[in-house]
Structure 1
């Protein structure tokens, strides 16, 4: 089981690095918003895997809060984009 957890952590870490590249180099704001949502989801996944590895149920609560915060940030950005984005007035 430990080898499987290590492989999952490695895959999520590599994916997290790729998401960070998209977050900083995204050509548009919606691309960055999607990358931010994916980033928070992957971090929640990493925390979940660590909860399994360390057999610590409290970390699952942290993962749930992280996922909810990422979701709320995405809703906020969607509202921002829906209302026309940044204005110069």
Structure 2
């Protein structure tokens, strides 16, 4: 049951961001940064902070798509991060 309440809490954070018109990412950054830093470490990104910034920019742009997706907020954000990190990883390995 703990994981359900965690999902609910994460969902509420992203929902509050949406209700606020996508203006204040502070709480999203606070809640989702540990997950994103762990994913960035997994992808061994050269500049994890920059990569995470890009993910949050994507969250800002795509936030309206979250609820229709039906996914928990954490999973939805992890998916955005994975896509971004894979793109950055390919670009970094080509350099």
Calculate the TM-score normalised by the size of structure 1.
Answer: 0.36
TM-score (structure 2 length as normaliser): 0.35
Rg bigger for which structure?
Answer: 1
More relative contact order, 1 or 2 (CA 8 Å, 6+ apart)? 2
